[in-house]
């Protein structure tokens, strides 16, 4: 009997220990509601931190379509890249493409940017801007080295803001003051030939406008247009034969062929007043010019605001160069025997 009671006592104790052990395991596997809530809060905090880090670490790809390589456009592109890199550091990368003066290539470049889903497009020069406008209505587009956006984009009654996915900076220097340079340097001249590329809408705009100012100053003006670099030489020669002074506006084809122009004008002692410093350095005697590098910097600052979500491009007005400088080509002026009055800065 005693032996039976002892066996029952041992069995009861074993069951009790097993039951206690089972409850202990359940507590280890199933956390309390307080512990579970704390874990969820921690997970939420980690997610928020991850999202914030992702936002802070946003990276951008900017496509650059430049019409042609010459000093003015190169300076604008460099200013743009420097300003945007200063704002965003290594968060921005550039896909820089040059159309080598071929307008259809601008469209090919832009279409590739659209396919690659770049975050923003810089269109450097009017044909590049027109190609970008045709290529996308959603990706932000900033133009630079564009003279008149209303003309370039065929907007009637342009009020300074495009109102779509396009904005940018203008390289337009006051055309009335450019006409005054002709009067200041060549008051006795009678005939002024206006030489420009007919494929560039803004070149046509400039010569039409400056012609009015020159005629008000008493000059007789005639326009001489060339379609591309192939007929530039013959057109320039005709203009030289028929005039006392030539005027060339801010024109990319002319800027890319200044040596051709100079080789015709300098031997004929024909002075050329031009629309920007790069052309002046190549074949002109004087200009009223802007800093294309500074223009690019202004465009880069606009891009930073767009990419960071600080500005709506559709509400951004076109920006203009803050100052203009009278400059002259000392070497060419000496060659032609032209004395430049005070107030002009020699091109370095």
Q: Is the pLDDT of residue 45 over 80?
A: no
Interval 277-321: pLDDT, tens: 999 999 999 999 899 999 999 999 999 999 999 999 999 999 999
Q: Is the pLDDT of residue 3 over 50?
A: no
Among the ranges given (56-60, 125-129, 288-292), the one the predictor scored with the smallest mean pLDDT:
56-60
Torsion of CA 198, 202, 204, 206, to 10 degrees: -140
Rounded Cα gap, residues 336 and 180, in angstroms: 20
Q: Are 124 and 67 in contact (CB under 8 A)?
A: yes
* Partners of residue 220 on adjacent β-strands: 191
- Laid out side by side, the sheet with 245-248 consists of 220-226, 191-197, 245-248, 272-274, 286-289, 325-328, 345-346
Higher pLDDT among residues 322 and 330, named by residue: 330
CA distances (Å), origin 124, targets 66, 168, 187: 5, 10, 36
Residue 243, pLDDT score: 98
Which domains, ranges and CATH numbers included, belong to the chain?
59-171+291-317 (3.40.50.2300), 175-289+325-346 (3.40.50.2300)
For the record, the structure tokens of 128 come out as 């590049």
Residue 57, pLDDT score: 67
Interval 8-34: pLDDT, tens: 334 444 434 333 344 334 333 444 444
Residue 58, pLDDT score: 86
Q: Tell which residue, 80, 83, 60, 62, has the closest CA to residue 72.
A: 80
Higher pLDDT among residues 171 and 33, named by residue: 171
* Partners of residue 169 on adjacent β-strands: 319
Interval 225-238: pLDDT, tens: 999 889 999 999 99
Higher pLDDT among residues 38 and 253, named by residue: 253
Residue 244, pLDDT score: 98
Rounded Cα gap, residues 186 and 3, in angstroms: 136
Residue 302, pLDDT score: 98
Interval 257-268: pLDDT, tens: 999 999 999 999
pTM, to two decimals: 0.78
């Amino acid at each position: 009997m005693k032996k039976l009671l002892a066996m029952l006592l041992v069995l009861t104790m074993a069951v009790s220990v097993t039951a206690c052990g089972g409850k202990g395991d359940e507590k280890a596997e199933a956390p309390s509601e307080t512990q579970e809530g704390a874990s969820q809060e921690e997970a939420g905090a980690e997610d928020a931190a991850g999202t914030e880090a992702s936002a802070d670490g946003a990276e951008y790809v900017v496509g650059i379509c430049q019409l042609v390589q010459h000093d003015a456009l190169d300076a604008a592109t460099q200013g743009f890249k420097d300003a945007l890199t200063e704002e965003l550091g290594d968060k921005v990368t550039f896909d820089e493409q040059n159309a080598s003066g071929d307008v259809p290539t601008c469209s090919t470049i832009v279409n590739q940017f659209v396919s690659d889903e770049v975050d923003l497009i810089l269109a450097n020069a009017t044909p590049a801007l027109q190609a970008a406008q045709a290529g996308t209505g959603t990706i932000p587009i900033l133009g630079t080295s564009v003279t008149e956006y209303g003309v370039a984009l065929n907007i009637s009654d342009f009020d300074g803001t495009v109102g779509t996915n396009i904005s940018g900076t203008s390289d337009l220097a006051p055309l009335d003051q450019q006409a005054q340079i002709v009067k200041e340097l060549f008051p006795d001249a009678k005939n002024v030939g206006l030489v420009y590329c007919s494929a560039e809408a803004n070149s046509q705009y400039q010569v039409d406008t400056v012609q009015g100012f020159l005629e008000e100053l008493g000059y007789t003006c005639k326009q001489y247009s060339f379609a591309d670099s192939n007929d530039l030489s013959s057109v320039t020669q005709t203009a030289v034969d028929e005039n006392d002074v030539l005027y060339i506006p801010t024109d990319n084809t002319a800027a890319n062929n200044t040596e051709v122009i100079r080789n015709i004008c300098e031997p004929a002692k024909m002075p050329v007043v031009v629309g920007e410093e790069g052309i002046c350095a190549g074949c002109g005697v004087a200009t009223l010019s802007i800093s294309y590098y500074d223009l690019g910097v202004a465009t880069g600052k606009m891009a930073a605001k767009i990419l960071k979500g600080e500005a709506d491009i559709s509400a951004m007005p076109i920006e203009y160069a803050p100052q203009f400088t009278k400059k002259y080509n000392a070497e060419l002026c000496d060659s032609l025997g032209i004395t430049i009055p005070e107030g002009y800065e020699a091109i370095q």
